[in-house]
């Protein structure tokens, strides 16, 4: 396994170890790569030096944000903590959760983990609010209640990036929302603002208000991947680029379909199965075949190629990725080092249609 690079591991080694695996009785190792070949970078911890700026916020993140959407729902607390530990072990430093994830249990797990590890200052913590049934929408009262609730469950005093969830239409205006957010920022409860499910028009209106003194929206989360392109590619991407927004797309693997693990409808059950079945069609299989070819060429997991395609897209800063098990973290983290060629990017884009 190679992390933060492409191609196979150095013959006779394991990730994070220089100890040879071959014995004296085995055939001699293959010739070493040419000096001009990519330097093999393997093993935990190397990603601590890999950081990208989150727009103009001053925050710097690992190129993959670990999403906590499954924590407390499909992933129990002990497994979630192991996933978080593994992510940080490989150099990750950004965690994303929401007040609506597992009715707040996700936030509780993330908060418990940060308290146990004493690593709050080293984590870029992002939280989405506005979708919890107790505090729906972005009206002034519900927004303050939602943030206070998240801070309590997380056991922290400050949220680094607060994503405003615009999917719930509660009749509130963006001006009222930003006015309330201004108080949250000035009180030190929130660092910078992000947006989720905002239309291009709403982002433009928010920027006009920012010119009048309201806080700026600096980050954009829009579900985006090889199969889900229509919502972002177009006016939304143009506005994001014009405003210099850092784009942190969620659903990077389309509920796990782009990991290549799910290729048969018969094996799919439950809510997750329903989400995946819709992609097991001619287009979905075509995309998986293109991912397979690129993964074979680069000798990396299929999931890493799907993430590499996202990172190659204009304006994308750091996709939000979810994991169900620690071994999946190893696959996902390799996406940060996948450098797809132009031909590979073109073939993947073509397959997605």
Cα dist from 73 to 49, 65, 313, whole Å: 32, 19, 31
What's the N-to-C CA distance of the chain in angstroms?
A: 31
Tokens representing residue 1 in the block: 């396994």
Largest Cα span, the chain: 75
Q: Could you read off the pLDDT of 151-198 as tens digits, one per residue? A: 999 999 999 999 999 998 888 999 999 999 999 999 999 999 999 999
Q: Answer left, alpha or beta for residue 189, where phi above 0 means left and psi between -120 and 50 means alpha.
A: alpha
**Alpha-carbon 38 to chain mean position:** 26
How far apart (Å, rounded) are the C-alpha atoms in residues 353 and 351? Answer: 5
CA 50, 129, 254, 327 dihedral sign is positive
How far apart (Å, rounded) are the C-alpha atoms in residues 15 and 44? Answer: 8
Tokens representing residue 273 in the block: 């199965």
Question: 89 by DSSP, 3-state: which?
Answer: helix
Rg of the Cα atoms in the chain: 21
* Amino acid 8: pLDDT: 42
Q: 73 with 80: CB under 8 angstroms?
A: no
Residues of the chain with pLDDT under 70: 1-46, 262-278
* Amino acid 34: pLDDT: 45
In DSSP notation, 127-157 reads: EEES--TTS-SS-HHHHHHHHHHHHHHHT-S
Q: Give strand pairing partners of 96.
A: 67, 126
Fold of 46-260+301-339: TIM Barrel (3.20.20)
Q: 215 with 181: CB under 8 angstroms?
A: yes
* Amino acid 226: pLDDT: 96
* Amino acid 270: pLDDT: 60
Domain-by-domain residue ranges, the chain? 46-260+301-339
Q: Could you read off the pLDDT of 102-138 as tens digits, one per residue? A: 999 999 999 999 999 999 999 999 999 999 999 999 9
How far apart (Å, rounded) are the C-alpha atoms in residues 261 and 241? Answer: 33
Q: Which of 287, 198, 210 is nearest to 237 (CA)?
A: 198
Residue 211 has a CB neighbour count (10 Å cut-off) of 8
How far apart (Å, rounded) are the C-alpha atoms in residues 75 and 43? Answer: 26
DSSP 55: T
**Helices and strands in the chain, H and E counts:** 11, 10
Q: Which of 2, 7, 4, 3 is nearest to 37 (CA)?
A: 7
* Amino acid 219: pLDDT: 98
DSSP 316: B
The upper half-sphere exposure of residue 315, i.e. CA atoms within 13 Å in the direction of its Cβ, equals 23
The upper half-sphere exposure of residue 313, i.e. CA atoms within 13 Å in the direction of its Cβ, equals 28
């Amino acid at each position: 396994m190679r992390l933060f690079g492409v191609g196979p591991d150095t013959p006779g080694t394991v990730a994070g170890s220089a100890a040879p695996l071959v014995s004296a009785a085995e055939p001699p190792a293959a010739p070493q790569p040419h000096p001009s070949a990519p330097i093999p970078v393997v093993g935990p911890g190397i990603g601590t030096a890999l950081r990208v700026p989150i727009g103009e916020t001053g925050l710097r993140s690992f190129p993959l944000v670990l999403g906590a959407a499954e924590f407390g729902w499909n992933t129990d607390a002990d497994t979630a903590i192991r996933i978080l530990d593994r992510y940080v072990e490989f150099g990750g430093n950004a965690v994303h959760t929401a007040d609506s994830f597992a009715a707040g249990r996700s936030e509780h797990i993330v908060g418990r983990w940060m308290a146990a590890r004493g690593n709050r200052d080293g984590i870029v913590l992002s939280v989405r609010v506005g979708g919890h049934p107790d505090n729906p929408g972005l009206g002034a009262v519900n927004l303050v209640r939602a943030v206070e609730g998240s801070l309590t469950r997380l056991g922290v005093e400050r949220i680094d990036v607060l994503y405003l969830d615009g999917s719930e239409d509660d009749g509130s205006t963006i001006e009222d929302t930003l006015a309330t957010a201004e108080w949250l920022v000035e009180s030190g409860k929130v660092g910078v603002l992000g947006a989720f499910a905002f239309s291009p028009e709403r982002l433009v209106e928010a920027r006009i208000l920012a010119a009048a003194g309201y806080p700026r929206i600096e980050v954009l989360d829009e579900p985006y991947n090889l199969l889900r392109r229509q919502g972002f590619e177009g006016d939304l991407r143009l506005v994001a680029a014009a405003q210099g927004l850092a784009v942190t797309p969620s659903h990077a693997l389309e509920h796990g379909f782009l990991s290549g693990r799910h290729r048969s409808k018969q094996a799919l059950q439950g809510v997750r199965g329903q989400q995946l079945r819709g992609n097991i069609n001619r287009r979905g299989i075509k995309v998986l075949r293109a991912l397979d070819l690129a993964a074979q060429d680069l000798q990396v997991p299929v999931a890493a190629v799907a993430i590499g395609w996202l990172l190659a897209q204009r304006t994308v800063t750091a996709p939000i990725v979810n994991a169900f098990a620690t071994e999946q973290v190893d696959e996902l983290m390799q996406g940060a080092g996948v450098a797809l060629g132009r031909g590979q990017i073109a073939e993947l884009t073509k397959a997605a249609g």
